Amino acid sequence: MKKYFNRHAIISQAFVLGIILSFFVKVFYFQYTIGLSQVPFQDNMLIHRLLLFSTVTVVITIALIFQKKAIYFFIVFDIIISALLLLDTLYGRYYGIPLTIPIVYQLSFVNDIQDSANTLFKWKDMVYFVDLPIIFGYVFYFRKYLFEKNTRRKNAIYLVILLMSITLFHTQAKDIDRTLHNYERKNIAKDLGVFYFHGYDIIDFTRNKFLTSLSMNESEKKIIMEYLNDNPRQTETFNLYSEKKNLLVLQVEALQEFVIDLEINGQEVTPFLNGLKSENLYFSQIYHQVAGGNTADTEFLLNVGLHPTPTGSVNYLYPTNQWLSLSDLLNERGYTSLAFHGYEASFWNRQAVYNNLGFYQFVSKEDFDIDETLGWSISDESFFRQSIDKSLSHQPFYSLLITLSSHHPFDAFSEFPMNVSPFDNTQVGNYLKGINYVDQAIEDLFERLADENILDNTIVVIFGDHSGLYLDQKAVLQDLLTFGDHPVEWAKIQKVPLIIALPDKKLQGNINKVGGQIDILPTIVDILGLDYPLILGNSLLREKGNYAVKRDGSIYFDNYYFDNARGILFDIETLEEVIITTELANRIGKYKTDLMVSDIIIRKNLFNDDEFLNIIHSQKGLNEE
């Protein structure tokens, strides 16, 4: 009996160890075959330990939960994991990231990689399946020893191993910098392994897709209806052009408004933009409204006209939501909507989200000829040239060009020939050089458009996406711009320039109306005469509006700044505290409602809700009457 027990224990434990080894080999291979990690055994091997601990956790959890039937689940799970890792590998070689549920949910990854599957697959990928015949043979041969319920002693040992593996995983991973995980999910797999990545993805998707009611409750309906009643839709538009004009939008990385007209050592930082804004529409009081999504938030504000989520990014939290976007409206008019960015398609989950935004094609790093590198990826100069090459074959086009060269921390410009003394070798000095480079690249772009007689048939919108310099650079910026320590002083420089260059210079001038990035979409709608049933922002060409709400609830008025964290209203010029009257309190509450309405629409996926669509369309009819 004792001999039987020992043999039984050895056979059973050998099987579990074999499963652990099998799973570990697969995730180890995956980690390197799509380039999440570099050459094996050349780093501190932290990722190897984390892969091992996560593998042990998965296997022992199955053994504990399913007991006598664990053998069946090991086999089924092995097949599923093998197939999933193969798909992860094919998709990862294409996009650099494992599959996520939103991508599978949309089935878009099939179209993304089906044409390239033959070249993406490598025979060494059979490592994912080579263990299956061995496992089947082992189970069949030793079946009378394996299909027995765990003893208490065995469960106790498993439980100890499980707790140890979880504890060791968290102990080893505690010092990993997870800030990059917020905007590039690939880094979760890179730093913590593919098992952790998929576990995180499942929990995140389930929480946002299924654990949140998608039906509006009465309170939410009331908020929506009151907002629509208080903000009647603008039914008339300027509609400046009877013929279709191309729409070219340059979303410029880290471009802040203070660089416009700024001179240092007698040299303009943005000489071309300075001249461009003097001959076209220039909006000098536009504040960025991004939150945790930074650049991705700006794209969302521009294309959908809703505020970003208070934490995280819409791109990751609600990637399968349906939207009514600028691309959708223009596509209906016969435009081709194209998006361009010089970094990886998986960055900010763009390859999954852009389909829902109505873009015909997303051109990313994988699609460009990286003939010149500057900063993170392709130089803006080359980026502009290649993006226009692709756009010109799709007229009339809506092309969104998201630049990258001037991305923080601006080290790529340290050797550029611009006199930024006394800020040499500082982040601020490199930033000024970077923006000067971008200005030159935009000038070259305009010359190209003019030479090809495209400029007279194209509306060009140029704006900054978010701040380029943060609080750690405040002291140096104070030396450059000579502002004080008052919190409103810092808030006042969080502006981004907005220039709209219209064919034939139909509208010109400096408009000082206070606004935010959410107002860019309604301004474009106003110029093109588009029919947009729900807009939270206000056209900057109209008198209505004249405020900007930040995601944290702070508000820029024409002459006040409400600091939501402090609950204080300041005079924006004198910096003195202002008594909040009933009228001002009502305005603050009304402006904050924008955030509430936006959150409800996003959280409940209301552009996919017939009741909501009926409400906004019926409201449109009432407004027209």
Residue 142, pLDDT > 90, answer no
Confidence of residue 621 (pLDDT cuts 50, 70, 90): very low
Highest mean pLDDT among 109-113, 137-141, 174-178, 512-516: 512-516
- Say yes or no: 172 and 228 in one domain: no
Q: Would the pLDDT of 54 be above 50?
A: yes
| Least confident span in 100-104, 613-617, 619-623 | 619-623
Q: Note if the bond before 319 is cis, omega within 30 degrees.
A: no
Same domain (yes/no): 133, 168: yes
Indicate if 138 and 229 belong to the same structural domain: no
pLDDT at residue 583, as a whole number: 95
Q: Give the range among 35-49, 133-147, 348-362 with minimum mean pLDDT.
A: 35-49
Q: What is the CA radius of gyration of the chain?
A: 28
Say if residues 161 and 60 touch (Cβ distance below 8 Å): yes
Q: What is the mean pLDDT of residues 429-449?
A: 97
CB contact burial 225-242 (16+ within 10 A = b; e otherwise): eebbeebeebeebbebbe
Q: Count the domains in the chain.
A: 2
Per DSSP, 311 falls in state S
Tell me the mean pLDDT in the region 493-499: 97
Residue after which a domain boundary falls, among 182, 209, 236: 209
How confident is residue 153, by pLDDT bands cut at 50, 70 and 90? confident
CATH of the domain at 399: 3.40.720.10
3-state SS, one letter per residue, for 144-206: HHHCCCCCHHHHHHHHHHHHHHHHHHHHHHCCCCCHHHHCCCHHHHHHHCHHHHHHHHHHHHH
pLDDT in tens, 82-136: 999 998 888 777 667 788 776 665 544 455 455 456 657 888 989 999 999 998 8
Look at residue 624 in the predicted model and tell me its pLDDT: 47
User: Which DSSP category does 49 fall into?
Assistant: H
Decide which of 90 and 586 is more confident.
Answer: 586
Q: Are residues 169 and 222 in the same domain?
A: no
Most confident residue range from 195-204, 376-385, 605-614: 376-385
pLDDT value at position 4? 44
Tell me which DSSP letter residue 280 carries: S
Between 265 and 471, the more confident residue is 265
Cβ 384 vs Cβ 378: under 8 Å: no
Do 176 and 224 sit in the same domain of this protein?
Answer: no
User: Residues of 395-433 as b/e, b for ≥16 C-beta within 10 angstroms?
Assistant: ebbbbbbbbbbbbbebebbeebebebeebeebbbbbbbb
How far is it, in rounded angstroms, from Cα 400 to Cα 172?
A: 42
Across residues 239-253, what is the average pLDDT? Answer: 95
Which of these, 558, 574, 463, 583, lies nearest to 519 by C-alpha position?
463
Whether 211 shows a pLDDT value over 70: the answer reads no
Dihedral angle, C-alpha 216, 220, 224, 227, nearest 10 ° = -170
Same domain, 106 and 43: yes
pLDDT of residue 310: 79
pLDDT tier at 162, thresholds 50, 70, 90: very high
Give pLDDT, residue 2: 46
- In whole angstroms, what is the distance from residue 145 CA to residue 467 CA? 65
Tell me the mean pLDDT in the region 550-560.
94
Specify the pLDDT at position 105.
55
Residues 136 and 271 occupy one common structural domain: no
Q: How far is CA 95 from CA 239, 293, 297, 299, 354, in A?
A: 40, 20, 21, 20, 14
Q: Among 176, 209, 242, identify where a domain stops.
A: 209
Least confident stretch, 286-300, 353-367, 436-450, 605-619: 605-619
* Predicted confidence band of residue 280 (pLDDT cuts 50, 70, 90): very high
> Residue 563: what pLDDT?
92
Contact 183, 293 (CB under 8 A): yes
- Give one DSSP letter per residue of 508-573, joined into a string: -EEE---EEGGGHHHHHHHHHT---S--SS--TTSSS---EE-TTS-EE-SSEEEETTTTEEEETT
Mean pLDDT of the chain: 88
Tokens standing for 63?
A: 């053994």
Say what the pLDDT of residue 406 is. 95
DSSP run (H or E) holding 104 = helix 101-106
Which of 181-195, 392-406, 462-476, 508-522 is the least confident region?
181-195
- What mean pLDDT is predicted for residues 556-571? 93
Cα–Cα distance for residue pair 384/386, rounded to 1 Å:
6
pLDDT for residue 42: 55
**CA 32 to chain CA centroid, nearest Å:** 25
Contact 449, 458 (CB under 8 A): yes
Domain around 500: 218-624
Q: Give, to the nearest 10 degrees, the angle between helix 218-230 and helix 582-603.
A: 120
The residue from 209, 231, 263 where one domain ends is 209
Helix %, strand %, coil % of the chain (to 5)? 55, 10, 35
Q: Is 202 in the same domain as 247?
A: no
Distances (CA, A) of 203 to 80, 210, 303, 505, 536: 18, 10, 28, 52, 31
Residue 103's pLDDT is 65
Neighbours of 544 (CB within 10 A): 11
Point out the least confidently predicted range of 62-66, 75-79, 97-101, 376-380: 97-101
Q: Are 257 and 204 members of one domain?
A: no
Average pLDDT over residues 442-471: 95
Question: What type of residue is 114?
Answer: Q
- Say whether 248 sits in a helix, a strand or coil: strand
Helical axes 271-279 vs 427-451, angle rounded to 10°: 50
Q: What residue type is 425 in one-letter code?
A: N
Bigger pLDDT: 600 vs 42: 600
The two structure tokens encoding residue 337: 């909507």
Same domain, 396 and 430: yes
| Crossing angle (nearest 10°) for helices 46-66 and 70-95 | 150
Q: Are residues 135 and 240 in the same domain?
A: no
d(CA 359, CA 341): 13
**Residue 93 confidence (pLDDT):** 75
- CA 251 to chain centroid, in Å, comes to 14
Q: Within the chain, what is the greatest distance between any pair of CA atoms?
A: 96
Average pLDDT over residues 442-454: 96
The mean pLDDT of 377-392, rounded to a whole number, is 97
313-360 tens-digit pLDDT: 888 888 888 999 999 999 999 999 999 999 988 888 898 899 889 999
Instruction: Provide mean pLDDT across the span 398-412.
Output: 94
Compute the distance between CA of residue 340 and CA of residue 386 in angstroms, rounded to an integer: 10
**pLDDT the model gives residue 346:** 83
163 shares its domain with 271: no
Question: Which pLDDT value is given to residue 187?
Answer: 82
Please check the confidence at residue 3 and state whether its pLDDT lies above 50: no
